[in-house]
Structure 1
Amino acid sequence: MDTQHLQAFVAVAETGSFSAAGQRLHLTQPAVSKRIATLEQQLDSPLFDRVGRQISLTHAGLSLLPNAKRILQEVADAERAITDLRGEVRGRLSIATSHHIGLHRLPPTLRHFTERYPDVKLDLHFLDSEQAYEEVLQGRFDLGIVTLAPEPDPRMTEEVIWRDHLYFAAAHNHPLAAHDTVTLEDLSPWQAILPDTNTYTTGLIQALFSERGLPLSVGMVTNHLDTLKMMVSIGLGWGVLPQTLLGDGQVQVLTTEQPMITRNLGAIHHRQRSLNNAARVFLQLLKG
């Protein structure tokens, strides 16, 4: 079995679509279909049931999937080990990061890394931090540069790179902006704009209000902090924003009685997956 055929099979199985698999692999849909057809011929068994536009794994496909993932991982590990033995910084480096970190924290490191190590193929994906954790655990990415979970995952190696201070903010014409000092009791009646409830950041905010026995009214949800800032700036509700988004005066920081909220941003990688030279060098640059 050709590893390219296995890559196509895994991509279709994970995305549920030949076209989406093609986008992931930078191939046309017919090219993906051809690779799957060749693999099915080699195995003398259909791997997908195709009903209209819906596809699902057959029993043979379900049996092949974990083995295909293992084979591809072992091939990647072998290639990485040989490259590392030569001391070269090349090959592929896959990183999952959040939109906020990718836009506001990573650019200097990315620029330095790509200029210094042009032989590394950088594969950068923007995901919510919580999703990035799962993808790193599944072996899809070498590194995650994310908001770190409040409770460390024993399967992960985690390193704090930045401590992100969060501030309550509102539009300049919002009634809360007229307060010299704002309490959680003042905030509670007003609509909040926050990331999704399953995010680490919103979990921190919900915990503050729960400790006081106060309701938290979340009227709108967006996981993109730049979008959240825009919604706050036009008066749709109050929000909680990192310091990196507060320097242009578009929103007013609310002075609160509350101690400063801090979240840790940093790097994660699977403890059972050895880092290649490219990943190790990238982490060194990231830590400065």
Structure 2
Amino acid sequence: MQTEAIRAFVTVCDQGSFQAAANALHLSQPTISKRLASLETRLGHELFDRVGRGVALTEAGRAYLPHARELLAVVQDGRRALDNLHVETTGPLRLALSHHVGLHRMPEVLRAYVARHPNVTPEIVFLDSEAACRSVVNGDCELAVITLPTPPHPGLVEDCIWNDPMSVFVGQDHALANAGQVNVADLARYPAVLPPVESYTYDIVAAALAPYGLTLDPRMTSHYLETLRMLAGVGIGWTVLPTSMQHPELTRLELPGVHIERRLGAIRHPRRSLSNAARALLTMLDARRD
């Protein structure tokens, strides 16, 4: 079965329409339609319901999609295995980075990497850690360097590179900024601004504060820690940030007995071959392990 037709199917699913898929693959819309019709004929099932200009997966389409993704990943795996026969470290490196890791941990690593391996073409996408895990599972990215999930993702291999201690911060004009001795119960009287409840960092914060009876109910949420730092700094609520993000507009609260820490590192798929480019980056990351 031709991989071009399978790639067209997956791209339509990801892009949401035939035209968007055609644009993404640099093809005409009739070509996309022809490839999908050929695939449906081969499979003996319609994969999409055509509703006006939009498309929706049929039951058969939903059942086939994860297998289609896996087929494309296996094809890419074979190409990497052949590329690895060459001694040189060349070619593309599809890498996902979380925003915080990309801004605060990776610049020196990437600077050294591109200097050492000038024939590698990094293709970097910035994603939330949860989406980055999905991109590695689906085969869209070889590696991701992110906040590692707790507990570990059951379908991925992780390599912890950095421990990232976190602290509770408030703006300098917050009532708790000059309150002296502060405990977790005091936080409950004030609104919080935190990462989204579905994020790995939220889970880590919630697990650290739950033993003290604090149930989190954030006033506002954002995946971007720099945004949370700003919101806390102007007094909208207390927040939890990496301790390294201390800022003149913030006051760090000392909470007796509370220890909050994330693990940052690389994740990869255990059943897929890594390119020489990806292996070289992992080697450089391991050298920076805390």
- The TM-score bracket by the shorter chain reads 0.7 to 0.9
Higher deviation after alignment, 134-143 or 159-168: 134-143
Q: Distance in 2 between matches of 1:52 and 1:145?
A: 40
User: Gapped runs of 5+ residues in structure 2?
Assistant: none
Return the offset for 1:91. 2.4
CA spacing shift, 1:162–1:21, aligned 2, 3 Å? farther
CA spacing shift, 1:63–1:33, aligned 2, 3 Å? farther
Mapped contact 2:5–2:39 kept (Cα < 8 A): no
Q: Distance in 2 between matches of 1:208 and 1:44?
A: 50
The answer to whether 1:275 aligns with 2:274 is yes
Quote the sequence identity (%): 39
Q: Distance in 2 between matches of 1:200 and 1:40?
A: 37
Return the offset for 1:238. 0.4
The answer to whether 1:136 aligns with 2:131 is no
Coordinate RMSD, CA, aligned: 2.5
Q: 1:33 aligns with which of 29, 44, 50?
A: 29
| Paired residue type of 2:75 | V
The answer to whether 1:202 aligns with 2:198 is no
Return the offset for 1:70. 4.0
TM-score, with length taken from structure 1: 0.87
Return the offset for 1:8. 2.8
CA spacing shift, 1:262–1:66, aligned 2, 3 Å? closer
Q: Distance in 2 between matches of 1:62 and 1:194?
A: 34
| Paired residue type of 1:234 | V
SS of residue matched to 2:254: coil
Counterpart for residue 103 of structure 2: 103
Higher deviation after alignment, 132-141 or 45-54: 45-54
TM-score, with length taken from structure 2: 0.87
Counterpart for residue 165 of structure 1: 165
Q: Distance in 1 between matches of 2:249 and 2:22?
A: 41
| Paired residue type of 1:286 | L
Return the offset for 1:20. 4.6
CA spacing shift, 1:201–1:18, aligned 2, 3 Å? same
After the TM superposition, which parts of structure 1 deviate over 6 Å for at least 4 consecutive aligned residues?
Answer: none
Q: Distance in 2 between matches of 1:20 and 1:14?
A: 9
1:68-147 aligned within 5 A: 68-147=68-147
Counterpart for residue 255 of structure 1: 254
Mapped contact 1:157–1:269 kept (Cα < 8 A): yes
